[in-house]
Amino acid sequence: MSSTTKDNSTDDNGENQSPILHSDSLLILIVDDDKTNRLILSTLIKKLNHQVISAVNGEDAIKIFENENPDIILMDVVMPIMDGYDAATKIKRLCNDIFVPIIFLTAITDENALAKCIEHGGDDFITKPYNSVIIKAKIDAMIRVSNLYNRISESKLEIQQHHNRLLREHEISKTIFTNITKPYNLNIDNIKHILKPVSITSGDILLCSRTPSGGMHVMLGDFTGHGLSAAIGAIPVSETFYTLSSNGYSIGDIVFNINEKLKETLPVGFFCAACVIEVDESFRSVAIWNGGIPDVVITSDDAPVKVPSSHLPLGILNSDEFDRSVFFTQLSHNNKIYLVSDGVIEATNSDGKMYTQEKLESVLYESRSSNDSFTNIKQSIESFCGNSIQRDDITLIEITSSPLDTLNNDSDIITSTDTVSPAKWDLSIRLEAEALQHTNPCPLLIQSIMEIQGISSHRERIYTILSELFSNSLEHGLLNLDSSIKENPQGFLEYYNRREASLSTLADSYININIKHTPTETGGKLFITVEDSGSGFDFSKHDTTSPEIVNSYGRGINIVKSLCPILKYSNNGRKVDAEYVWYS
């Protein structure tokens, strides 16, 4: 076959693509058991500047087709050994995705017989006697059809290759997304959730982490886009969230740092609507930062509390414009907290109507006496949407206000299996008024202790001691706040409002923290001293095991007492010394 018969190109993978035929020179296979017919037809085709090969029956035609790869086949119908119908059927099967035209040669003009030619793979037919003008027209028409077919096949192959690459990217995205978001952290009794992505990889992200003090941080994020772009955005968000949560940072600090990461690393127009909540270890209180997520709903026996978005999504504002302030409220035993992405309230039914925030709240209200409001909401969404197309990720999370596993009491002895050799060392830090207004030293201190001594199994206990002693020194010693304000739900918010107001005007004040470590034969001892310049913390008001105090505002000091064999206040409450013992 001449090299000018057809052009063969290769794709990016080096594979042959379908040939492009040209009318100047083709290789044409003539299949006819009659020698005279073959000679006449061969002469006519050669005058059209095409090359010719011949076969005397269908079986011979198949062998020649496999060896010579002709561009067009002219096939007689009635032949010995194997007729044209069977030969055409088998040759078409051998062609796979390449289009090789078969033109039947027949003297039959019966419509049923001609239809049979088409049924067995024929693409056209030429009736006898042969006419050179008709033969040329038929061949030229088959060239156009063949090239069109092969171009469509090439496009189909390209689309399939692109689709395969896209599926591979989605699988990579899904693996990355799963590994970094740690969905298994949500498998606790307090939390129920639905995460229903619109594509393989979700643009919504759910994160949950226990804090060193025994509380819990939960984040619902909704990225612009889906797939690989959302997975890329989830990397800095998840890393920052889990690192800072485990080190005891507040949610205000966490969202500030996430915003900074997204602003630095992601392109303009890519952001993450987010809601982050923080609950203490006994579910007495909750702090909420909402930036672009639908209203958070906190249900109770009374009227529900709604926390709307009061901030822009993460990744939009510069650091100097960012607002890290949070909403505080107190929880009771019957409270449930609901967060949803906008894929829930904007979900549409077959009529194009949206589910809406109002419908969500209506279902919550109707389910207020139910023990399974979560299932009611889920069924309501599914019933509303029916078989309509899902257009966005759907995420729903319910957090029940039942206490998390509390810290062990002082009868339990925790041994550390990941420590370095006990060493003698001490740390000191002094914070004056301006630093106290925006700095919580406890995460930094706990991180330093872990890096020096490595006693990570004691992280939660040590953080609880540090944070409680520091908070008492700041809020009572320097700011003169009265914890009894928090005895009722309204007072809790009032307490934190007073705290922020007093902190903003704090001047000429300081807190000194000193941590000293001494090795022992069985591990080590931490000696923690916190001293402030204020009026002093009245420890006597909290030195009680009264159920009313233990279960409300005085509970923290009693936990510290259970963890520390020595807890001593001096200098009119301005100084406190605590001792914590750990075992190797």
Parallel/antiparallel/unpaired status of strands 124-127 and 72-76: unpaired
The CA distance from 169 to 200, in Å, is 10
Give the pLDDT band of residue 574 (cuts 50, 70, 90).
very high
Report the half-sphere exposure of 356 (CA within 13 A, side-chain side). Answer: 7
Q: Select, from the ranges 365-374, 400-409, 424-433, 452-461, the one with the highest average predicted confidence (pLDDT).
A: 424-433
Cα 154 to its chain centre, rounded Å, is 35
Q: What is the DSSP string of 538-574?
A: -GGGT----HHHHTTTTHHHHHHHHH-SEEEEETTTT
> pLDDT tens across 497-537, in order?
888 889 989 999 999 999 999 999 888 999 999 999 998 87
Q: Which two three-digit tokens encode residue 379?
A: 């069924």
> pLDDT tens across 181-194, in order?
777 778 888 899 99
Within 502-547, strands assigned E span 510-520, 523-532
Strands ordered across the beta sheet of 51-55: 51-55, 27-31, 72-76, 102-106, 124-127
Give the pLDDT band of residue 10 (cuts 50, 70, 90).
very low
In this prediction, residues 225-236 reach a mean pLDDT of 72
Q: Which two three-digit tokens encode residue 531?
A: 């001293």
Residue with tokens 């009868």: 411
The CA distance from 311 to 327, in Å, is 11
Cα Rg of the chain, angstroms: 39
- Tell me which of 267-281, 386-400, 406-420 is least confident: 406-420
> What structural domains and CATH numbers belong to the chain?
6-157 (3.40.50.2300), 182-400 (3.60.40.10), 425-583 (3.30.565.10)
Measured on CA atoms in the order 18, 20, 25, 26, is the torsion positive or negative?
A: positive
Which amino acid type is present at position 503?
L
Please list, residue by residue across 169-178, b when 16 or more beta carbons sit within 10 angstroms of its beta carbon and e when fewer do.
Answer: ebeebbebbe
Q: Which two three-digit tokens encode residue 493?
A: 């918010």
Q: Is the pLDDT of residue 548 over 90?
A: no
The H-assigned helical ranges of 182-226 are none
Could you tell me if 396 and 196 are in contact, meaning their C-beta atoms sit under 8 angstroms apart? no
3-state secondary structure of 300: coil
> pLDDT tens across 115-167, in order?
888 888 888 888 888 888 999 999 999 888 888 888 888 888 888 888 888 77
Q: Is the pLDDT of residue 256 over 50?
A: yes
The kind and range of the H/E element at 400 are strand 394-400
* pTM score above 0.85: no
The CA distance from 445 to 455, in Å, is 13
